[in-house]
Amino acid sequence: MGYRLSKIYTRTGDKGETGLGDGRRVPKDHPRVEAMGEVDSLNSQLGVLLAGLAEQGLSEVSEVLAPCQHRLFDFGGELAMPSYQALTMSEVERLEAAIDHWNEELGPLTNFILPSGSLLVAQAHVCRALARSAERRCQQLNAIEPLEGVGLAYINRLSDLLFVVARIIGRRQGVAEVLWQAAQKPQA
């Protein structure tokens, strides 16, 4: 394989446009670029989570999440090159299987939980929130330029997985879930 990036800066974006994989030039705030950026932000924060999981020896969770970084990169490629399709339904099903497996252990929630408890739990929730943001950006793009493939399902399922991952990390760390406490109603 040849070099993918022979030069890091090109100066072609200095006036607020960027190039897509299909050769089109679009404004840097185009919905497609916004979606690509949110997927990239999620992937970067997922890297932070994976580094923390490695430090804590939580390989069970890392093994499920590590492929997600590659699939998010694939999804970014799909967004950058609209005719390119890399994600498959088997990847969505892999996330669903992990969700189902860990949910059996966790049991149902009886209250809302806060994105807190430990640094890793909170980081998993940061990733979940970014997955939801990426999904919203992708849906905005989909409304004006319909997306092909399973990318929308994948990003939706990934956010679900990250919620469950936050809970399973807390369980593995022996950290109690921080339950939401509603504000007291004003006295009449």
* Alpha carbon distance 183, 131 (integer Å): 28
**79 half-sphere exposure, CB direction, 13 A CA radius:** 29
CATH code for the structural domain at 26-173: 1.20.1200.10
Closest CA to 15 of 29, 23, 27, 32: 27
98-136 residue pLDDT tens: 999 999 999 888 899 999 999 999 999 999 999 999 999
CA 102, 165, 172, 57 torsion: positive or negative? positive
What are the angstrom distances between the C-alpha of 51 and each of 41, 70, 163, 175?
A: 16, 15, 18, 19
pLDDT of residue 1: 47
What does the pLDDT profile of the chain (188 residues) look like in tens digits? 455 656 666 666 667 777 777 878 876 788 999 999 999 999 999 999 999 999 999 999 999 999 999 999 999 999 999 889 999 999 999 999 999 999 999 988 889 999 999 999 999 999 999 999 999 999 999 999 999 999 999 999 999 999 999 999 999 999 999 989 889 988 87
Q: What is the pLDDT of residue 82?
A: 86
